[in-house]
Amino acid sequence: MINPQKVSHPVTPTRHPGKNRGGIRAEEVIDMSDEKEKSSYNSLILIFAALAAGVIAIGYLSYRGYERQYRTSVESQLSAVALLKVNELVSWRRERLADAAVFHGNKDFSELVRRYLTAPGDIEAQERLREWLKHLQTAYRYDMVMILDAGHTKKMVFPSVPERSRSYISPLTSELLKLGKVACEDFYWNEENQKIYLKILAPIRADEKGSRLLGVLVLRIDPEKYLYPLISRWPTPSETAETLLVRREGNEAVFLNELRFQKDTALKLRISLDKTDLPAVQAALGHTGIVEGRDYRRETVVAAVEPVPDSPWFIVARMDLTEVYAPLKERLYLTVFIVVVLMAGAGMGVAMIWRQQRTRFYRDKFEAAETLRESESRLKAITGSARDAIVMMDPAGMVTYWNPAAEVLFDYTSDEAMGRNLHDMIAPLRYHVAHLAALPEFKRTGRGGAVGKTLELQARRKDGREIMVALSLSAVHIKGGWHAVGIIRDITEQKIAETTGP
C-alpha cells in the first residue's frame, strides 16, 4: 500500500504527538489517570511515613528526657537522704561526746569520784555520785552509766543490774583515756546479754594537772532505742528504700545496723571487699556519691554512698532499680499509647484524604470516560458516514479499524479485514519488500517518508483489481507502540479523466 520509495525518508510526527484526528484516545486517558492516582497514593504514603516517624521521634525524645529527669531526681533524693543521715549521726556523736566532756572537766564530779574510790565508806560521796549518775542516765537516755577504776573494774553502775565485774575497753581507747581524751567505743557485741552497744568514755583525773588516771566514766548506749530507728527511718514512703550503716574491718565490710529485708544481721553480716559490686563494699573502699550494683539480697540497686566524718562509719542510702523504674514503666506505657493514638489519627487523616482523592479520581475518571464515550460515538458516526476509507494498523501491521467506506472500496467486510495483515490484503506485491524494510523504523520511531503527507499510489481490491488511491497517513502512539492511521480515497476515475482529456 505504501510506496517504498516515498517512505524511505522518515518524517517525525511531532505535529500530532499521541493524537489522531479525533483527539486523545481512551487508553491514554486511562493511563494518565492511573499514573496520577499512583503518584497521589505514593505521596500520601510518604506523608504518613513522615508523620509516623515524627511522632515516634518526639515520643522517644520525650520519654528519654523524662527518664533522665526522673533518674536525676531519684539520685538527688538518695543523696539528700544519705547526707541527712550523715549530718544526724555527726550531731548525735558530737552530743554524746559533749555529754562525757562535761563530766570530764567537772572538778566537783572528779572530786566525788576520788572520794568514792579512795574511801568506799564515804556515804555522802557515794549518795551524791549515785544521784549524778541517775540524773545523767535518765536525762540523756543512756542504757547504763558506770564508774570504773583505773583498771576498768566496775565500781558503780546505774541502773544496777547483773553485769560482769570488769568492762572491756580496747587498747586504742585505753591509750586515748591515758592521754586525757574523751573516746568512743564503737559498736560491739556484749556476750553477757547478747546485745549490741556503744560506749562513750571520759577519763577522770586525780588532780588538776591530770598526771594520773583515777577512773573512767562510761556512758553505754543501746542503739535499738534511738540510733537504729534514726538510721532506718526513710523520709518518704518506699517499698525497697533502706539506709545502711557499715564500717570496714580488715578485708570485710561489716553491717552495723539491722537490715530491712534480713534480720539478725547487725555485726554478723560481713561481706568480703572482693565483692565490689555491692554498694556497701564500695563505701568501705572509699567510694562516694551515686553507685549502682547489687545489695545483700543480690537485687540490682542504685545507692548514694557517704562517709560519716570523724568516725569509721559509712552511710549507704539505697533503693531497688525495680522501684526506681516503676513510674518510668507507667510513663513508657503512656507514651506508647499517645504515640499509637497520634499515629492512628495521622493514619485516619491520610486515609480520609486518600478516600476523598479516590472519590474525586473515580468521579473524574467517570466523567472522562463519559466524555470519551461521547467523543468515540461522534468519531464513530463521523468515520461511519465518511466517504473516504479509514483504516488503522497496529505495530505488527494488523488491521485494527476498518470503516464502512473501506468495505465498499476494497470489498472486504470489517469482519474479514480485522486482524489481518493490511499490506498483504491491499498492497500490490511489488511494494512488499520495501514495506518490510521500512516497517522496523516506523515501529521504533513512528516516522516514515509518508507520515504526515498525502500520496498517490496503487492499491489492490479483494478481486485482485488494482485501483489508484490518495493516501493520507499519520502515526499515533498507543500503549507503547506506534500505530498507523490511513485515510484512503479512490482517484481511479480522476486519473483516467486526466489521461484521456476532455
What does the alpha-carbon distance between residue 321 and residue 303 come to, in Å, rounded to a whole number? 10
**Given this model, what pLDDT does residue 103 score?**
86
Which residues lie below 8 Å from residue 189, measured CB to CB, with a gap of 6+? 195, 196, 267
Instruction: Using the predicted structure, report yes or no on whether residue 135 has a pLDDT greater than 80.
Output: yes
Element (H, E) at 470: strand 466-478
Q: Which three cell numbers stand for residue 403?
A: 470503516
Q: Cα-flanking dihedrals φ and ψ of residue 171, to 5°? A: -55, -40
From the candidate CATH numbers 3.30.450.20, 3.30.360.30, 3.90.550.10, 3.30.310.50, the one assigned to the domain spanning 34-242+307-373: 3.30.450.20
Domain boundaries, the chain: 34-242+307-373, 386-500
pLDDT value at position 142? Answer: 92
Same fold for the pair 34-242+307-373 and 386-500: yes
Q: For the chain, first and last CA: distance in Å? A: 30
User: Whose CA is closest to 103, among 261, 216, 272, 254?
Assistant: 216
Assess whether pLDDT exceeds 60 at residue 32: no
Alpha carbons within 13 angstroms on the beta-carbon side of residue 263 total: 0
| Cα separation values, 456 from 2, 125, 426, Å | 9, 156, 14
> Is residue 338 scored above 80 in pLDDT?
yes
Count of beta carbons in the 10 Å neighbourhood of residue 472 = 17
| The residue count for the chain | 502
Residue ranges of alpha helices (H) inside 296-447 are 321-385, 404-410, 414-417, 422-426, 432-445
Quick one: average pLDDT of 213-217? 90
Picking from 80-84, 217-221, 239-243, 371-375, which range would have the lowest pLDDT averaged per residue?
Answer: 371-375
CA dihedral (307, 311, 312, 316) positive or negative? negative
In sequence order, the 6+-apart residues with CB closer than 8 A to the CB of 472 are 453, 454, 486, 487
Q: What is the pLDDT of residues 378-434, one digit of tens each?
A: 777 777 777 888 999 898 889 999 999 888 888 999 899 999 998 888 889 887 877
Interatomic CA distance for residues 262 and 186, integer angstroms? 22
The residues that bridge with 486 in the sheet, in sequence order, are: 391, 473
R_g of the chain, CA atoms, integer Å: 56
**Mean pLDDT value across residues 190-214:** 82
Indicate if the pLDDT at residue 169 is higher than 70: yes
Q: Could you tell me the pLDDT band of residue 23, with boundaries at 50, 70 and 90?
A: very low
Indicate whether this model's pTM tops 0.85.
no
Measured CA to CA, the distance from residue 352 to residue 466 in angstroms comes to: 65
For 386-500, which CATH superfamily applies? PAS domain (3.30.450.20)
- Dist CA 181 CA 201 (whole Å): 9
107-118 and 123-139 are packed helices; what angle lies between their axes, rounded to 10 degrees? 130
Of 37-46, 73-82, 310-319, 393-402, which range is least confident?
A: 37-46
Rounded distance between C-alpha atoms, residue 21 and residue 31, angstroms: 20
Which sign does the torsion angle of CA 406, 411, 417, 420 carry? negative
Task: Lowest mean pLDDT of 51-55, 84-88, 138-142, 410-414, name the range.
Answer: 51-55
pLDDT at residue 502, rounded to an integer: 59
What is the overall mean pLDDT for the chain? Answer: 83
Is the pLDDT at 346 greater than 50? The verdict is: yes
211 band by pLDDT with thresholds 50, 70 and 90: low
For residue 501, the model assigns a pLDDT of 62
Residue 31 has pLDDT above 90, yes or no: no
- Tell me if residue 419 falls in helix, strand or coil: coil
Spatial CB neighbours of 286, under 8 Å, sequence gap ≥ 6: 307
Cis geometry, peptide bond prior to residue 159 (ω within 30 degrees of 0): yes
pLDDT of 89 over the 80 cut: yes
**459 is written with which cell numbers?**
492499491
Local structure of residue 479 (DSSP, 8 states): T
262-312 pLDDT, tens digit each: 988 999 999 999 999 999 999 999 999 999 999 999 999 999 999 999 999
Q: How far apart, in Å, are the Cα atoms of 122 and each of 125, 126, 129, 237, 386? A: 5, 6, 11, 57, 155
